[in-house]
Structure 1
Amino acid sequence: MNQNLLVRNKALPNLPKVQCRRMPIAVDNCRFINKDEKTGIVKISGYAVKWDSINYYGEKFIRGAFAEVCAAFAAGTKKVHCYYNHGWRQWYVDSRLPMRVGKITLLKEDETGLYVEIEFTPGLSIAQDVAAMVVHGTIDGFSIAFYPPNSLDMEDKGTHVEIKRADIYEISVVDEPADNAARIISDEAIEAIESEEDAEELLRSVGLVGDYAKKLMARISGMQKPEETPAPPESKKDPLAWLDS
């Protein structure tokens, strides 16, 4: 047997050193736009990141974090790929999975988050399978794969980390996580709480969206108020109670 071929077959692919983050499935992040009946191209759009969202890793992207990526993409000097469930990491399962399912046609920041538009590749079986699932509503999420940010581009807020600058490798269309509430809160995160605002931020990070975190905090605060015990009448007071003190 050719030894060079043997070594090449055993070698691992040159996978990018990136981190993958899914959008919390709290709202419709991915939506179907239309299907061109002539070409068969299915187009979708949505938000891969939202500024008001803290992901499952306790990270919050700040508006402007992807400004350089979007500018380079618009100028044609930067490519951002599109996969299904980060298929490039599953090369050992099925040879189809690492295939890109479409191309990103628009990538920009707006007041809501990182907005993306994608065209699925017509005639590619895996792309058409994914497109069919999106159209049917079977899958409805995005996930980004980004390079680890420089320490200068991150700020630890105690309850979460703010990322001010990041570089994206790819954006995947993904399935909904099996358990949206499956998140472990560390002792450090709890000890870092110094105000009701910190507690609300932590509750949002585990998926409690909108004003529900604030309402829950108000409810808990009301439940924890100690009941006022009426003072005993003068006739029943212990005259020797001062000895206890």
Structure 2
Amino acid sequence: MEVKRIDLESVDVKFLDSRQGVFAGYASKFGGVDSYGDTILSGAYKRTLKKRDRPIRLRWNHWGPVIGKWLEVREDDIGLYVEGELTPGHRTAEDVFASMKHGAVDGLSIGFRPLQFRDLGDGRRELKEIELLEISIVEEPADLGARVSDVKSALDEAESLKEIETILREAGRFSRADATALVARVKALARGERGAETVGAEDIRTLFQRFATG
């Protein structure tokens, strides 16, 4: 799964004060070149929004819990327009909403797979069709694509599941509980195939998407 973060200010996110916990704006915009070197073309979300086996989840930081639901997700001339509602009484959701209102949390990010794209060279792409996996509210101000690359690089050097668990936790993308849960799932995957302590980085990469999308 790839992720693509965008600041709330640049996607016109607004809070609908008449409905507590409800906000609206754009999860991504068409045209231009983003910080990842990608240009998303109009129509990229058309198929994924029509043909879905599961709803689009509203998550916290991609790897965190579902904290609400998307009331509307659609393409228009500008980009991917969304209206979301954070779950009343959900402690994480209420904390996130307070942080958004205060400006301490300032990003939306889509989790997706590129299905059709054109390589423009120099790390740039035109994304023609996207499979949308989820849309998250995110706190991390850094380039998440670079963070994922850093984690993958570190995993290549890991020699045990315990070391992998530490890398994931220290990378800041996983809490201790999340890192432990992910490693437990890798062990379950490996059980019966080979010794759990010999599971490699590719097994972890395979589990990134499964863990993030539940």
SS in 2 for 1:79: coil
Q: Tell me the amino acid that sits aligned with residue 86 of structure 2.
A: F
Question: Counterparts of 1:78 and 1:29 in 2: how far apart (Å)?
Answer: 27
Gaps of 5+ in 1: 1-17, 89-97, 183-245
Question: Counterparts of 1:72 and 1:24 in 2: how far apart (Å)?
Answer: 28
Question: Counterparts of 1:69 and 1:27 in 2: how far apart (Å)?
Answer: 24
Q: Which residue of 2 aligns with 1:129?
A: 95
Q: Percent same amino acid among aligned pairs? A: 36
Q: Which structure 2 residues correspond to residues 11-26 of structure 1 after superposition, within 5 A?
A: 18-23=1-6
Query: Over alpha carbons, which structure has the higher Rg?
Result: 1
SS in 1 for 2:109: strand
C-alpha displacement at 1:45, in angstroms? 1.1
C-alpha displacement at 1:26, in angstroms? 6.6
Q: Tell me the amino acid that sits aligned with residue 28 of structure 2.
A: V
Q: Which residue of 2 aligns with 1:113?
A: 79
User: Does the alignment pair 1:173 with 2:128?
Assistant: no
Q: Which residue of 2 aligns with 1:83?
A: 59
Q: Which residue of 2 aligns with 1:67?
A: 46
CA RMSD of aligned residues (A): 2.4
Question: Counterparts of 2:9 and 2:39 in 1: how far apart (Å)?
Answer: 15
Deviations 1:16-70 (A, max 9, x none): xx1111125772543212253xxxx410111111112322221111110000122
Question: Counterparts of 2:8 and 2:100 in 1: how far apart (Å)?
Answer: 14
Question: Counterparts of 2:33 and 2:105 in 1: how far apart (Å)?
Answer: 21
Residue 157 of structure 1, aligned match among 99, 120, 132:
120
Q: Tell me the amino acid that sits aligned with residue 43 of structure 1.
A: V
Question: Counterparts of 1:44 and 1:66 in 2: how far apart (Å)?
Answer: 21
Question: Counterparts of 1:24 and 1:121 in 2: how far apart (Å)?
Answer: 22
Contact 1:102 1:127 in 2 (8 A): yes
TM-score (norm 1): 0.53
Q: Which residue of 1 aligns with 2:22?
A: 43
| Cα distance, 1:25–1:107 mapped onto 2, change above 3 Å | closer
Higher strand share: 2
Q: Which residue of 1 aligns with 2:66?
A: 100
Q: Which residue of 2 aligns with 1:27?
A: 10
Question: Counterparts of 1:115 and 1:145 in 2: how far apart (Å)?
Answer: 15
Question: Counterparts of 1:26 and 1:118 in 2: how far apart (Å)?
Answer: 16
Deviations 1:194-223 (A, max 9, x none): xxxxxxxxxxxxxxxxxxxxxxxxxxxxxx
| Cα distance, 1:26–1:129 mapped onto 2, change above 3 Å | closer
Contact 1:30 1:140 in 2 (8 A): no
Gaps of 5+ in 2: 147-214
| Cα distance, 1:50–1:135 mapped onto 2, change above 3 Å | same
